[in-house]
Amino acid sequence: MQCAQHPAVAATAVCSRCDRPVCPECKQERNGKAFCPSCAEHLDRRAQAAPRPLVARSAPPPTGEVAVVPPATPTVAPDAPRPAAVAGDLYEGPAIRDVYTGPLPDQLPDELPPPEEPTLAPLEPEVPLPPVTVADTTSPQLFLYAPAAGVLGGAVWYGIAVASGYKSGWLAILIGTLVGIAAAWGAGGGGQIVTLVALLTTASTLGLGDYLIAQHNYGRIEAEATATWAASLKFLDDGRLSDAELATYLKMSPSSLASMSTDEIASARRAATEKLRRAATEIDQPKGTFNDFWASMIDLKDMIFYAIALLTAGRMTLEKA
């Protein structure tokens, strides 16, 4: 085993504090124990910072009283090592006696007075808590009032959209408020189930209203296409325009048409017939099936209206909780 600080020198002891091997040059003794230089320096600093030991005077106290004796300062040689205040070391200073200042045992009374019973403060009367009102979320009125309000709101939503061709955010707020108040009124208060019913009813109301609006618009466009096709074909007779029909379509008099050459009349008839046949396909017709047409009507603005209505309905039910 080699020294921790001098690897080339064999160790002769082990530090009692850190267990590092030390050679004779590094070995430091304190109170009969071997330490390395670092631990010995640490113990010396601790010993210098430790308080001096107290020594009580040996004069006997007077009878019946015990005097408080001030500690005497012992005479210690300047070069004497101070006791090390390190855990595990032995204390070599003089004994310290505790000073008792109470009466002597022979002066204690024979019987001690009974302990006084603690005086408890009177308890304040309990104030009864107000009854907690819990909404009857299973009440049939909840599932009656909320759908009724949804039907009314959906009718207003459908009627205004069909009549004006526009939807309004204020109308979405009105529907959410109507459904939320009706749900809370039917349940007698708010709650999670009441809020859930109000949200589902509001979403169903707007969704069903938009479905009916899409059906109305789809049918209107189909009717316009059919009417335009019929109006185009009223000039045709067996798929061919007569001279009178051609003159009416071209907004010319029969005499003006008769002044035209045969080739000019035939060319004008072919062009008018083809234009009339394409008239029905040139109008704004719905593309694809009705479901595709309905899905194309739902845009970002409708999603915002839905969110506004749902937030309003949820807020109405939470305020009634």
Q: What is the pLDDT of residues 252-310, one digit of tens each?
A: 888 888 888 888 888 888 887 777 766 645 555 555 677 777 777 788 988 999 999 99
Sequence-distant (≥ 6) Cβ neighbours of residue 301 within 8 angstroms:
167
pLDDT at 136 (0 to 100): 43
First to last CA, the chain: 81
pLDDT at 113 (0 to 100): 67
- Residue 151 pLDDT more than 90? yes
* Long-range contacts formed by 169-173: CB under 8 A, 24+ apart: 169/304, 169/305, 169/308, 172/206, 172/305, 172/306, 172/308, 172/309, 172/312, 173/308, 173/309, 173/312
Average pLDDT rounded to a whole number, residues 12-31: 87
Least confident of 31-40, 51-60, 164-173, 308-317: 51-60
* Higher pLDDT among residues 123 and 84, named by residue: 123
Phi-psi region of 300 (alpha: psi -120 to 50; beta: other; left: phi over 0): alpha
pLDDT at 157 (0 to 100): 92
* Higher pLDDT among residues 206 and 247, named by residue: 206
* Higher pLDDT among residues 81 and 13, named by residue: 13
Average pLDDT rounded to a whole number, residues 208-223: 85
Average pLDDT rounded to a whole number, residues 101-125: 63
- Confidence band for 250, pLDDT divided at 50, 70 and 90: confident
Distances (CA, A) of 89 to 86, 94, 97, 242: 6, 15, 21, 133
pLDDT at 50 (0 to 100): 61
Token readout for 95 is: 């004994």
**Dihedral of CA 253/259/262/264: which sign?**
negative
* Higher pLDDT among residues 190 and 55, named by residue: 190
Token readout for 97 is: 């006696």
Average pLDDT, the chain: 75
pLDDT at 177 (0 to 100): 92
Average pLDDT rounded to a whole number, residues 168-179: 91
Q: Is the pTM of this model over 0.85?
A: no
* Higher pLDDT among residues 51 and 77, named by residue: 51
**Gap between the Cα atoms of 60 and 33, Å rounded:** 39
Average pLDDT rounded to a whole number, residues 147-153: 92
pLDDT at 52 (0 to 100): 58
pLDDT at 134 (0 to 100): 47
- Confidence band for 152, pLDDT divided at 50, 70 and 90: very high
- Residue 180 pLDDT more than 50? yes
* Higher pLDDT among residues 178 and 298, named by residue: 178
- Confidence band for 142, pLDDT divided at 50, 70 and 90: confident
pLDDT at 54 (0 to 100): 52
| Contact of 13 with 2, CB cutoff 8 Å | no
pLDDT at 206 (0 to 100): 92
**pLDDT > 70: percent of the chain:** 63
pLDDT at 123 (0 to 100): 67
Least confident of 13-22, 147-156, 191-200, 220-229: 220-229
Distances (CA, A) of 55 to 49, 52, 75, 85: 19, 10, 11, 18
